[in-house]
A and B are shown apart, each in its own frame.
Chain A
Amino acid sequence: KAGVTQTPRYLIKTRGQQVTLSCSPISGHRSVSWYQQTPGQGLQFLFEYFSETQRNKGNFPGRFSGRQFSNSRSEMNVSTLELGDSALYLCASSSTSDHEQYFGPGTRLTVT
């Protein structure tokens, strides 16, 4: 079974720009969660989608948004990028039966 894939793996953007990250979950998984990982803040929950609906949201500004498609693939968007948005963005998928999360390799975003 293929794992969680994230694209792109690396991104360099300039302050003020926007960016879209993509995540394809494991086949059959309908829940997708997004996390931001930084050395200073650790792993912080962004949001979780299930069947195209956002079920939960972390404490991030409205510049961070996401969506999920009918095939469970998910995207997250960050608008008006700031230097502090530089981080590793991790996506994780899970089934509803065991709640185990399977993580992708992440997208390393650098904002200059």
Chain B
Amino acid sequence: GDSVTQMEGPVTLSEEAFLTINCTYTATGYPSLFWYVQYPGEGLQLLLKATKADDKGSNKGFEATYRKETTSFHLEKGSVQVSDSAVYFCALFSGTYKYIFGTGTRLKVLA
């Protein structure tokens, strides 16, 4: 069945460091891919999305490219801030009315 695998956390970085959170997926067909972010005490918020191969989603300095050949959707940011500390979830929508979420990666950014 469809699945999402993302890197284990926590990830601890210094402010202004480069961030990569790896995400790979298994799916039949052509799923849409998403990154969601969850700040402490809140629900999930959509960060960015890509709906077809080679699409690049971007928002708030974060980027991810839909790579069908490697079935990946890695999240990147060139310079993280303390305010980026949160849990990040990779997800796919397979078209069977169900989202598949990764286990989440906790990011901690130190000043």
Contacts and interface: CB of A to CB of B under 8 A. Distances in A.
Interface residues of B, number: 21
Nearest 5 A/B pairs, CB to CB: A103-B43, A42-B103, A55-B97, A103-B44, A43-B101
Interface residues of A, number: 22
B89 interface: yes
Given A43-B89, A90-B43, A101-B46, A48 B97 contact: yes
Would you call the interface of chain A mostly helix, strand, loop, or mixed? Answer: strand
Interface-centre pick from A31, A58, A99 (highest chain B CB count, 10 A): A99
B96 interface: yes
A43 B98 CA distance: 13
Contacts of A45: 98-101
A18 B41 CA distance: 24
Contacts of B49: 100
Given A42-B104, A99-B93, A100-B49, A56 B43 contact: no
